[in-house]
Amino acid sequence: MKGTWLTRLIFGFLFFHNGVSIGYVASSTSGNLFCFVHQETAFVIAALLFISGFTIKIWAAKAVPIDIYYWKDMFLGRKISDFVMTGPYRYFADPMYGVGQLQAYAITIWFGSISGLLAAFLNQCCLFSFNYLMEKKFITRVYQNVKPDSVC
């Protein structure tokens, strides 16, 4: 268990800066999207995306036990709790990396930033790459009864 507080600290720091960096890119390049979409329409879309993404992310965080939050099980290299197939995990393969990222797009649309949209898309591609290259293999190995198709 030694070092798990450090792992949480590091990942908390990284996730915070991940969100701040997308917000910075969006706010520093604001307005160029409004040439293609009316500002009022963009604000409505942004609000709906933010509410949807935030709701899914909170729901997913509530469904996953705190023991495996921040990939504690993966970094310790062993099963910490049972595999979760409840809440949004019942409907989405990976709600945190998928639908849960809608608020990143919402922020970029709110600022009207094409560069922000690209940054949010690149961020999501990196999240899914990490999931495919690292997490799925670990989950399949450690949680033997999980089918690869249902791995989050």
Q: How confident is the model at residue 89 (pLDDT cuts 50, 70, 90)?
A: confident
Identity of residue 62: K
pTM: 0.78
Q: Which of 135, 134, 138, 150 is nearest to 85 (CA)?
A: 150
Q: Which tens digit of pLDDT belongs to each residue from 29-77?
A: 998 888 888 889 989 999 999 999 999 989 988 888 766 655 667 777 7
Contact 6, 15 (CB under 8 A): no
